[in-house]
Structure 1
Amino acid sequence: MKIALVHDYLTQRGGAERVFELLCKRYPEADVFTSLYDPQKTIDLGERIVNTTFLQKIPGAAKYFRMMAPFYFPAFRALDLQDYDLIISSSTSFAKAVRKRSDARHVCFCHNVTRFLWDTETYLREYGDYRYFAPLIEQIFQLMRNVDLKYAQEPDLYIANSSVVAKRIQQIYGKPAIVVNYPIDTSNFVYSDTKEDYFLASARMISYKRLDIIVEAFNWLGWRLLISGDGPEQARLKAKALDNIEFLGHVSDRQRKDLFSQAKSVIVAALEDYGLVPVEANASGTPVIAYGAGGVLDTQIHGITGVFFKRQTPDSLQAALLESGRITWNYENIRNHAVNNFSEPVFFQKVEQLIDQTCITH
């Protein structure tokens, strides 16, 4: 069976790209396609040939890939995938639009619906420079929504990373999606049942991560908090933080492993569609204190692997922190929960069963 692997664009390294990297490793003989490719900024594909679209020939397109938004659908529709029996797309937006042969199958790992089209207000808030073009953007986006909805009917099977995303796919695209929680490489995390006297937050310093809530809560409690990561919110957060809060900036993979395994708890205040950090913490034997909405509802068990707080406020987080302190955590059980449910072997066992069923039922 000839397989094509297709991703929106390989110009950055985020959660979606890490999943695509797993797919590339799992299917080493498959051909790889994307709209734009910048090998210096994205996952390491080694000597793998990466087939791109006509957009790759536009100077600066990879750097300013968001500006190419109106052109991605035509670019993916122009790809010739007629030789392939199975197409596996990895998409938050455009790759799901590829054409397939009538007797071929298309399985889409949908990390989200096309967010900038269907949640435009939030998108423009995060990328403030685009606000000034909002009236023009809205006209273009309305046309693109119609196209997105049309091409969303192309895949034969949708796989979503969480129940939240599956519900969104059903509501917006009218397509059912099967939830398979994305995995982590559990060998990248070290287990420890000895915890040091600090809490950890690990996130990009951007507004929706709600690190401001965490800083305010720990200002009030006076407990030691370490924050790893960097981003545009860093200066503002540092200005608010008291002496019990330490900003580590970017840390190495080795440092990150140790930080996760030795923390009393890892704190997550963002509303995430899925979120790998809580699973990574559990793989280290560390409980999670998380805002109780979104993807964590698929990955965490309240009182067993972590504690949820109900509102994105410092008071609500403080209450969860105090509740966590009254729990006698079984760190080995926390680790086992992650390994048994979110490891790569478990993930691919589920995925390959679904792909086999999809190909057989055709």
Structure 2
Amino acid sequence: MPSKYALVHEWLTPEATGGSELVVREILNHIDAQLYALIDFESSNPESYLYKRQISTTFLQYLPVAKKGVQKYLPLLPLAIEQLDLRQHDVILSSSHAVAKGILTTPDQLHICYCHSPMRYAWDLTFDYLRESKLGTGMAGWLTRYILHRLRQWDVVSANRVDYFIANSAHTARRIWRCYRRDAQIIYPPVNTEEFPFLSQKEDFYVTVSRLVSYKQVTLIVKAFNKLRKPLVIIGIGPDMDKIIKIAEPNIKILGWQPDDMVKKYMASARGFVYAACEDFGIALVEAQACGTPAIAYGAGGALETVRDIRTHGDTGTGIFFQQQTEASLIEAVETFEAKAGKFNPEYARKHAAQFSKQMFASRYLNFVHQCEENNNKRKIVT
């Protein structure tokens, strides 16, 4: 009898369009699974691929302003995810960057978690969260610290409910080991590489595409390009928008949100793609290379797996790393990039990006799921 699958994700909203959502979409393209989430505002969205799909949600769906960000109810997320009843399914597939891996399962069920990141609020971004939040000081600050402490405890305990972990990069696999002491299979997320236009002839400007939030370090890019006096195009929106507009010099053009066609046009035409965040994977870096556009990236996190520094890889290089998240380090990288500009091969960048395609993801993910099912069936026979 065929297995009955469930797929669990944190939240499904029109604003949630990142790499984790691409993973959910690609899994559903290949596996017939019942979809579960903390909240869902996509099945009622006529423009969504999930329109009219049956999606099971939690009590958070009905709380005020949940649509604008269920993270506001952070202390309730573990409780909410544990209310989902998945006992009718044989295989639980979770796509988790917060609490989706914490669903409750029975001894007979198989749980495979594609982990985009251990819960950032509780781990890597704890002190950023406290510094930027109005709840980070005074008595409220101590309460927030206690809540984050309890979230870390729950996060570790709930990791034991997962039979097999998949990480979206070696960087994430190391973080999974550090937080949970669990090994993880590395399967890179799907990138729509074929949908990005290839251009070998570039124009004289740089581009960055990013959410304008603090850890993306777009402010750092702006300050560096203010000093470089080189043309830079910024695409994206977020809470740092006003700050960036205030400090940007005339050589920097801030376009805000742009439709996909415009994003692809700027990515393909740019001399280089600039990225200063430490990401678990970094889909935008791969998208730029799919356009034949080399990258100038902070040399940490997933970028070390998706970009090949021309100083190390020679003719097969697809970009340049800078080693510190400082203006001086980025400025030095841009100057080195321009000195080596004629040595970048756009065709190779496109070829390099292809290894992160949707087809590669589907093949690796499905093979791993089937392997886990076989192992689980053998274990049942033995016991």
Cα distance, 1:194–1:350 mapped onto 2, change above 3 Å: same
Gaps of 5+ in 1: none
Q: How much has 1:90 moved relative to structure 2?
A: 0.7
Larger deviation, residues 211-220 vs 107-116: 211-220
Task: Indicate the SS of the match to 1:336.
Answer: helix
Whole-angstrom distance in 1 between the partners of 2:192 and 2:307: 18
Whole-angstrom distance in 2 between the partners of 1:326 and 1:212: 25
Cα distance, 1:206–1:61 mapped onto 2, change above 3 Å: closer
AA at the equivalent of 1:4: A
Whole-angstrom distance in 2 between the partners of 1:232 and 1:55: 24
AA at the equivalent of 1:86: V
1:18 corresponds in structure 2 to 22
Larger deviation, residues 210-219 vs 260-269: 210-219
Task: Indicate the SS of the match to 1:246.
Answer: strand
2:174 corresponds in structure 1 to 167
AA at the equivalent of 1:5: L
1:50 to 39, 47, 55: 55
2:41 corresponds in structure 1 to 38
Q: How much has 1:291 moved relative to structure 2?
A: 0.7
Whole-angstrom distance in 2 between the partners of 1:62 and 1:251: 22
TM-score, scaled to structure 2:
0.89
Structure 2 residue 366 is matched with structure 1 residue 352: yes
Post-superposition Cα deviations, 1:236-282, rounded to whole Å, max 9, x if no partner, equal: 22232222211112111111111011101000011212211100100
Post-superposition Cα deviations, 1:38-89, rounded to whole Å, max 9, x if no partner, equal: 2268954122100112332444444451232233323322322122111110
Structure 2 residue 117 is matched with structure 1 residue 112: yes
Asked whether the equivalents of residues 294 and 319 of structure 2 are also in contact (C-alpha less than 8 Å), the reply is yes
Percent of matched pairs sharing the same residue: 36
Whole-angstrom distance in 1 between the partners of 2:67 and 2:237: 23
Cα distance, 1:187–1:50 mapped onto 2, change above 3 Å: same
Structure 2 residue 310 is matched with structure 1 residue 310: no
1:123 to 129, 136, 141: 129
Asked whether the equivalents of residues 26 and 362 of structure 2 are also in contact (C-alpha less than 8 Å), the reply is no
2:338 corresponds in structure 1 to 325
Post-superposition Cα deviations, 1:9-51, rounded to whole Å, max 9, x if no partner, equal: 2244142223222222232x21001121122689541221001
2:92 corresponds in structure 1 to 87
1:219 to 206, 226, 233: 226
1:231 corresponds in structure 2 to 238
2:381 corresponds in structure 1 to none
Cα distance, 1:216–1:75 mapped onto 2, change above 3 Å: closer
Whole-angstrom distance in 1 between the partners of 2:321 and 2:247: 25
2:143 corresponds in structure 1 to 136
AA at the equivalent of 2:147: I
Asked whether the equivalents of residues 91 and 112 of structure 1 are also in contact (C-alpha less than 8 Å), the reply is yes
AA at the equivalent of 1:85: D
Task: Indicate the SS of the match to 2:197.
Answer: coil
Give the total of aligned pairs.
Answer: 359
Cα distance, 1:201–1:60 mapped onto 2, change above 3 Å: closer
2:212 corresponds in structure 1 to 205
Post-superposition Cα deviations, 1:268-325, rounded to whole Å, max 9, x if no partner, equal: 0112122111001001110000010111011111111110011111221121112212
Q: How much has 1:143 moved relative to structure 2?
A: 2.6
Asked whether the equivalents of residues 19 and 182 of structure 1 are also in contact (C-alpha less than 8 Å), the reply is yes
Gaps of 5+ in 2: 311-316, 377-383
What is the aligned-residue RMSD (CA, Å)? 1.9
Asked whether the equivalents of residues 26 and 190 of structure 2 are also in contact (C-alpha less than 8 Å), the reply is no
Structure 2 residue 262 is matched with structure 1 residue 248: no
Larger deviation, residues 297-306 vs 55-64: 55-64
AA at the equivalent of 2:128: T
